Amino acid sequence: MAYDPENIFARILRDEIPSTRVYEDDEFVAIRDVAPAAPTHILVLPRHEGVTGPADLEQADAPWVGRMVVVATQVAREQGLDADGYRLVMNWGRDAGQTVPHLHLHILGGRPMLGLA
């Protein structure tokens, strides 16, 4: 999957498309998903362009990907999801349901997450 700098997440990061941001720093933006799969469904987007998904990651990416997970847990806590639990999901490819070729992490919570894991 080739990286497209005009993908919707890249455009959101450049403020070309509006979004509901719940967190933002120099490395990441967290937005509410427009088609939520759970009562709370937030996407953590790295400002880093060029990585389409987890299969593109290399050892050198480990520090910022680790920080992305830490940001996701912080956002989940701020959303009140830590008491009952939440799920972090990263998809790769069509069969996994990835629709945007820009690495992102889903935070899902607000109801029991049954199945798969």
**Domains assigned to the chain:** 8-109 (3.30.428.10)
Residues with a known catalytic role = 104
Confidence bin at 116 (pLDDT 50/70/90) = low
Q: Give the residue from 20, 23, 5, 13 showing the smallest Cα distance to 73.
A: 23
**Coil, strand or helix: which one is 47?**
coil
Q: Who's near 13: CB < 8 A, 6+ residues apart?
A: 29, 45, 47
pLDDT in tens, 33-77: 999 999 999 999 999 888 999 999 999 999 999 999 999 999 999
DSSP 77: H
**Assessment of whether the complete model's pTM goes beyond 0.85:** yes
pLDDT value, residue 85 = 96
